[in-house]
């Protein structure tokens, strides 16, 4: 069964604590938290204090996605509040050393690639990853249209992980909805990130269950 990681970026933070119990009851696997610094991406979101507040109100694992410049500077601090901790291949850190550091602090490691990065560029780092996140939109803003080209990257990464004998989660983020989610799962995605599709649903529990049944 596919895992679901709702992105809180599109949530109303004043009512988020009311929604979290619904997620837990309906089988959500983790929460996706987008940290943006206004440098690596042209937007600013939130940081450690907000993540800490969310952590107090849920038992769900926190899937923290760092969209920040030179993320190696903050690994220890974010590792204290995250369960899964990911950063961008393109963000200006030593990729291998940063992945090792994430694991050293007890988090599961995730390497993320933008739409204009080829899957082959990260093959050498797969043994250091617990998950790879393929962006199916340009990072920085919610509500963008899904890029079908991301599915080919998913297939390549899944094939390469199998070739290397690696057990790896493959996550996709951007434009996930009732139409694109089945395509992603068919390509090899094991973790779906969804924001607008989940938080704008009339019945969140039923929407979660429909995605999880893929």
Residue 200 has pLDDT above 90, yes or no: no
Q: Measuring CA to CA, which residue among 122, 124, 212 is closest to residue 176?
A: 212
Pairing of strands 84-88, 131-135: unpaired
Residue 143 has pLDDT above 80, yes or no: no
Q: CA 147, CA 75: separation in Å to the nearest integer?
A: 30
Q: CA 45, CA 29: separation in Å to the nearest integer?
A: 22
DSSP letter (8 states) at residue 118: -
173 is annotated as an active-site residue? yes
Average pLDDT over residues 39-61: 95
Q: Active site residue: 29, 37, 130, 173, which one?
A: 173
Q: CA 155, CA 19: separation in Å to the nearest integer?
A: 33
pLDDT at 10: 85
Q: CA 169, CA 51: separation in Å to the nearest integer?
A: 23
pLDDT at 113: 98
| Model confidence, pTM | 0.95
124 is annotated as an active-site residue? no
Report the Cα–Cα distance between both ends of the chain, in Å, rounded.
7
Residue 186 has pLDDT above 90, yes or no: yes
Provide the mean pLDDT of the chain. Answer: 95
Residue 49 has pLDDT above 90, yes or no: yes
Mapped onto helix, strand or coil, the DSSP state of residue 110 is strand
Q: Active site residue: 34, 37, 63, 130, which one?
A: 34
Which residue has 């996709």 as its token pair? 172
pLDDT at 48: 96
User: Most distant CA pair in the chain: distance in Å?
Assistant: 46
* Distances in whole angstroms, Cα of residue 47 to Cα of each of 20, 142, 214: 19, 17, 32
Q: 142: pLDDT confidence band, cut at 50, 70 and 90?
A: low
Number of structural domains found in the chain: 1
Contact 158, 170 (CB under 8 A): yes
Which is more confident, 160 or 144?
A: 160
Q: 157: pLDDT confidence band, cut at 50, 70 and 90?
A: very high
Domain holding 19, by residue range, is 3-212
Q: What is the CATH number of the domain that holds 19?
A: 3.20.20.70
């Amino acid at each position: 069964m596919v895992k679901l990681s709702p992105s809180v970026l599109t949530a109303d933070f004043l009512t988020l604590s009311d929604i979290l119990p619904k997620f837990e009851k309906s089988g959500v696997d983790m929460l996706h938290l987008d940290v943006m610094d206004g440098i690596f991406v042209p937007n600013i979101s939130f940081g450690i204090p907000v993540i800490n507040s969310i952590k107090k109100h849920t038992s769900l694992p926190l899937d923290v996605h760092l969209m920040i410049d030179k993320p190696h500077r903050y690994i220890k601090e974010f590792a204290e509040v995250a369960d899964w901790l990911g950063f961008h291949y393109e963000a200006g850190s030593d990729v291998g050393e940063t992945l090792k550091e994430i694991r050293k602090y007890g988090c599961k490691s995730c390497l993320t690639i933008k739409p204009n990065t080829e899957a082959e560029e990260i093959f050498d780092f797969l043994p250091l990853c617990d998950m790879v996140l393929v962006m199916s939109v340009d990072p920085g803003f919610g509500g963008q249209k899904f890029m079908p080209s991301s599915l080919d990257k998913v297939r390549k990464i899944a094939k390469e992980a199998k070739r290397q004998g690696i057990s790896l989660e493959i996550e996709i983020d951007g434009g996930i909805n009732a139409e694109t989610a089945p395509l992603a799962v068919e390509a090899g995605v094991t973790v779906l990130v969804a924001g607008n599709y989940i938080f704008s649903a009339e019945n969140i529990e039923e929407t979660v269950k429909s995605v999880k049944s893929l």
